[in-house]
Structure 1
Amino acid sequence: MYPKLIKYIEEILLQDISNERKNLLQPLIDFIELKKRNRESVDINFICTHNSRRSHLAQIWAQTASAYFKVSDVHCYSGGTETTALFPKVTETLIEAGFHIWTLSESENPVYAVKYSENSLPVIGFSKKYDDVFNPNTGFAAVMTCSHADGGCPFIAGAEKRIPITFEDPKISDETPGQTEIYNERSLQIAAEMLYVFSRINN
C-alpha cells in the first residue's frame, strides 16, 4: 500500500465512531462474516442517486479497507439510480489522501483507475446505474449511501441484502469556500466507517 495512504489510514484508525453509527454498520459486518463463513465471494454494491460522490467514496474506501485488513475475496462496486459523472472533487480528495488515480478516458462521464498500492488491481471509477453490466446481478449486498436512493429504490433486483448506511452529501459545499474541507470530512468519515467494518471481520 502506498506510504502516504498508510499514514492517512493509521491516523483515521484513531477516530472514534459513535455507537449509533456502529449499529448502522453492523448489518454490513454480519453480511461479510456470513459470506466468509460460507467461503463465498463478498460482493458489495454501494448505491446513491447519481453515482458521483458518496457511493464512489464508499466503494473505494471499502475495497481499500478489505486490503488493509487482509480480508480476501472482497469485490466492491458502485452505482446510481441514474448516470451522471464521477465528480472531479472526489478524485482530488482521494489523491490528497494518498491514492494514485489515472484518467482512462475523457468524456462527459470520464473513466478513472484508482489504486491503493503498486500491486493491487485498480478500482475502475465511472458513473453508472446500479444494475449496469459492470456490477454484480445476484448475491450482493446493496448498501444505500443516500436517503434519496434508499427511498426511491424500494427494490434492488438481485440483492441478497439491502443495508441503509447513509451519509450527508458533500455536494452542499460545491462552489463555496468550504468545499475542500467538506469533501475531506466526508471522505474521512466514510473511510473510518469502512475501516471499522473490515477491522471486525475474522479471517
Structure 2
Amino acid sequence: MAKKKVLFLCTGNSCRSQMAEGWARHLHGDKIEAYSAGIATHGLNPNAVKVMNEAGVDISDHTSKLVGSLADVPLDLVVTVCGHADENCPAFPTHAKVVHVGFDDPPKLAKDAASEDEALQCYRRVRDEIRSYIQSDLLATVGQ
C-alpha cells in the first residue's frame, strides 16, 4: 500500500510544523510520507531542533520551505498547526483533506521566560502535545 502524503502547514515553517513532520516520520514513517511547509519561511528554530533531539528525533537537516514548493506533491492530508495558517491555507489542486489541529507557538510562549530552561519548557510542552496528536490521531485522520 502506498504511503499517505501528509503536509504540516504553519506560518513560518520554523517550529511547530517542523516538529510535526519529525514526529510523523519517526512514529509512522512506514505509513506516512511527511512534509512541512509555511505560508512564509522563517528558518529552522534552533530550540525546536534541541527539544526534538532530546526526545530522540533529529530534525537538524530540515529546512524552512514555502508551501508552493510542494505544489507537485499529490497530498492526501494537510494539517494546519497554527491559526494563521488555517485562516490563510491556500487551495490545493489535489484531493487533499484539510484539517486544523492548532498548537501554541513556543517562541511566543517563551518570550518572557526568565531562563533558557524555562524557555525550553515551553518548547517541550508543545513538542509533547504534537507527539500525542501524531501518535494517537494522525493515522485515523489520514484514513490509515
Counterparts of 1:10-49 in structure 2, within 5 Å, are 39-49=1-11
1:163 Cα deviation from its structure 2 partner: 1.0
Partner of 1:13: none
Partner of 1:188: 128
Alpha-carbon distance between aligned partners in 1 of 2:123 and 2:76, rounded to the nearest angstrom? 28
1:138 Cα deviation from its structure 2 partner: 2.0
1:157 Cα deviation from its structure 2 partner: 3.7
- Report if aligned partners of 1:137, 1:157 keep a CA contact under 8 Å in 2: no
Counterparts of 1:6-85 in structure 2, within 5 Å, are 39-67=1-29, 72-85=30-43
**RMSD, matched Cα:** 2.4
Q: What is the identity, as a one-letter code, of the residue corresponding to 2:44?
A: L
After superposition, the C-alpha distances for 1:23-63 in whole angstroms (9 at most, x for unaligned) are xxxxxxxxxxxxxxxx3330000000000011001111111
Alpha-carbon distance between aligned partners in 2 of 1:95 and 1:139, rounded to the nearest angstrom? 27
1:159 Cα deviation from its structure 2 partner: 5.1
1:197 Cα deviation from its structure 2 partner: 2.5
Closer/same/farther in 2, CA of residues 167 and 202 from structure 1, 3 Å limit: closer
Partner of 1:137: 73
Q: What is the identity, as a one-letter code, of the residue corresponding to 2:22?
A: I
Q: Report the 3-state secondary structure (helix = DSSP H, G, I; strand = E; otherwise coil) of the residue aligned with 2:67.
A: coil
Closer/same/farther in 2, CA of residues 80 and 43 from structure 1, 3 Å limit: same
1:95 Cα deviation from its structure 2 partner: 1.3
Percentage identity across paired residues of the two chains: 25
Counterparts of 1:172-183 in structure 2, within 5 Å, are 172=108, 173-174=110-111, 176-177=113-114, 178-183=118-123
TM-score by length of 1: 0.61
1:65 Cα deviation from its structure 2 partner: 1.4
Q: Report the 3-state secondary structure (helix = DSSP H, G, I; strand = E; otherwise coil) of the residue aligned with 1:132.
A: helix
- Report if aligned partners of 2:7, 2:75 keep a CA contact under 8 Å in 1: no
Q: Report the 3-state secondary structure (helix = DSSP H, G, I; strand = E; otherwise coil) of the residue aligned with 1:131.
A: helix
Closer/same/farther in 2, CA of residues 44 and 175 from structure 1, 3 Å limit: same
After superposition, the C-alpha distances for 1:59-104 in whole angstroms (9 at most, x for unaligned) are 111111114xxxx342000000011201110011111112346xxx
The correspondence for 2:99, drawn from 163, 166, 178, is 163
Would you say how many aligned residue pairs link Structure 1 and Structure 2?
Answer: 139
Counterparts of 1:86-101 in structure 2, within 5 Å, are 86-100=44-58
- Report if aligned partners of 1:45, 1:130 keep a CA contact under 8 Å in 2: no
After superposition, the C-alpha distances for 1:112-162 in whole angstroms (9 at most, x for unaligned) are 33xxxxxxxxxxx110111215x7532331110111111022523435211
Q: Which deviates more, 90-99 or 169-178?
A: 169-178
